[in-house]
Structure 1
Amino acid sequence: MNKKTIHKTLGGLLLLPLIVWVISGAFFFIKPGYQAAFAPLEIKTYPLDEALTLTAQPQWQELRLLRTVLGSHLLIKEQGQYHHLDANTLAPMASPTQAQLRLLLEDAIASDPLRYGHLTQLDDNLVPPNLTQPKSVITVHTSTGVELTLDWGRLQLRQLGADTRFINGVYSMHYLQWTPYKGLNKVLGFVGLVLLFGLALSGSFLLLRSSQEKVR
């Protein structure tokens, strides 16, 4: 097989990945809809309205005291793990009831009703039975299809809409993450790089040979 045939074969094999790279690369350059898709969603906080006396423990690496629509919260970091405590008793904060969960989340999404709409019906199994574990994550959905994930241990929110999923999908396509298997995706990426290098190398040989023929 001569170099010209090799070059054409490699070009044919790389045709689809190159098209995907060009389109996705242009998408990343323009970044349409990025602002809304990846906009941070914060728990709404209020000024502290009560005097609390806290004695920091030696094992605490970090602490935050804040007030939400549900009241005061104490967040501490201990041995690299975050814990959500009752600010008055320092006991693990009880799991929120459905009413409390709805109140907290609706207060947060009220900042952008066009994107989030309102919360859909909450199921009983959405709320974990207790919050003694370092991580207690609750996921609910809104009427606009946005998925809200509440990390109660850190009192943090994350939002994931259809636009976010689409952009993440474009990212996966760009980096040849075309299968649900991480190992196979790495193989595809490596093969793509090898083929691209081979295409460039064979093209360089053809260009060099063409230049030499012109000189003769």
Structure 2
Amino acid sequence: MVFILRSGDAKMIKSAKLHKMVGLILVLPMLAWTVTGLVFFIKPGYQAAYQQLSIKTYPLSQTLTLQAQPNWQEIKIVRSILGQHLLVKQDNSSRHLDLQTLQDKAMPSAPAVKQLLTDAVRQDPERYGEIVNITGLTATTSTGVELSLNWQRLSLSQTGPDTKLINQLYKIHYLQWTGHQVLDQVLGILGLVLLILLTALGIRLYLKARV
């Protein structure tokens, strides 16, 4: 029995082989996109991982009289466990001033930072536990959460093992696998091109089969 291979059949076989090869190349990225996309859709543990941690404030203990400066855009007075704080926005940047001298408030000592952070993490002891290490304006808790104090804004940020895991999943999802920005961008573009090619070849094979 003799089979005659027509040119159209040969092209279809080539398209099928190319479709198969591109599909094999995209197995790992597609698996990564699917798994991480499912995580982003369900968002398990997001609330704790990206919890907004704030300085604990107390009612002001006395009436204050303050002469605002011409270049101040915003003024905020708060009282923490360390005392009163004057927070101003000046020339679109934040400043933390001494309420008496109106000069930049001195950076807190390590015991003061620990006292401030300990007071803040009491709101969720299950997540934060206790402060176990202080380095400058950053601290580590007994549960492995890293805390950072922005003294000029008198604000806090927290990053736990779960936060780092979710951030790593984002890098995997967007093909940021090497840690080099340019190379990761090339990988991302290449992945999209291959995905478009896979789709186009699939449509072509479907139409050819129907003909």
Q: How many residues align?
A: 199
| Aligned counterpart in structure 2 of residue 110 of structure 1, from 108, 117, 122 | 122
> Which position in structure 2 is the counterpart of 1:62?
74
Contact 1:109 1:116 in 2 (8 A): yes
Pairing 1:30-45 to 2, within 5 Å after superposition: 30-45=42-57
- The residue type equivalent to 1:160 in the other structure is T
Residues 42, 157 of structure 1: 8 Å contact kept: yes
Question: What SS class does the counterpart of residue 120 from structure 1 fall into?
Answer: strand
Segments of 5+ residues of structure 1 without an aligned counterpart are 128-137
Letter in 2 for 1:42: S
Q: Distance in 2 between matches of 1:84 and 1:49?
A: 19
Moved more, 191-200 or 88-97: 88-97
Matched residue type, 2:84: S
Cα separation, 2, equivalents of 1:182 and 1:149: 26
Runs (4+) off by over 2 Å: none
Mapping for residues 88-167 of structure 1, pairs under 5 Å: 88-122=100-134, 126-127=135-136, 138-167=137-166
1:187 maps to a residue whose letter is: V
Task: Assess if the C-alpha contact under 8 Å between 1:52 and 1:88 holds in 2.
Answer: no
1:72 is aligned to 84
Which one of 15, 18, 29 corresponds to residue 6 of structure 1? 18
Gaps of 5+ in 2: 1-10
CA distance in 1, matches of 2:105, 2:70: 20
Deviation at 1:42?
Answer: 0.5
Deviations 1:51-100 (A, max 9, x none): 22111111111121111011110111111211100112111111111221
Aligned position for 2:200: 201
TM-score by length of 2: 0.91
Q: Secondary structure at the match of 1:95?
A: coil
Is 1:186 aligned to 2:190, yes or no? Answer: no
Distance in 1 (alpha carbons) for counterparts of 2:155 and 2:145: 16
Are the aligned partners of 1:72 and 1:87 in contact in 2 as well (CA < 8 Å)?
A: yes
CA RMSD of aligned residues (A): 1.1
Contact 1:82 1:154 in 2 (8 A): yes
Kindly provide the amino acid, as one letter, of the partner of residue 97 in structure 2.
L
Amino acid at match of 2:162: D
Deviation of 1:121 (Å): 3.4
Structure 1 length-normalised TM: 0.89
- In the aligned structure 2, how far is the partner of 1:36 from the partner of 1:201? 42
Residues 102 and 119, structure 1, Cα contact 8 Å, conserved in 2: yes
User: Is the contact between residue 139 and residue 148 of structure 1 (CA under 8 Å) also seen in structure 2?
Assistant: yes
**2:17 corresponds to 1:18:** no
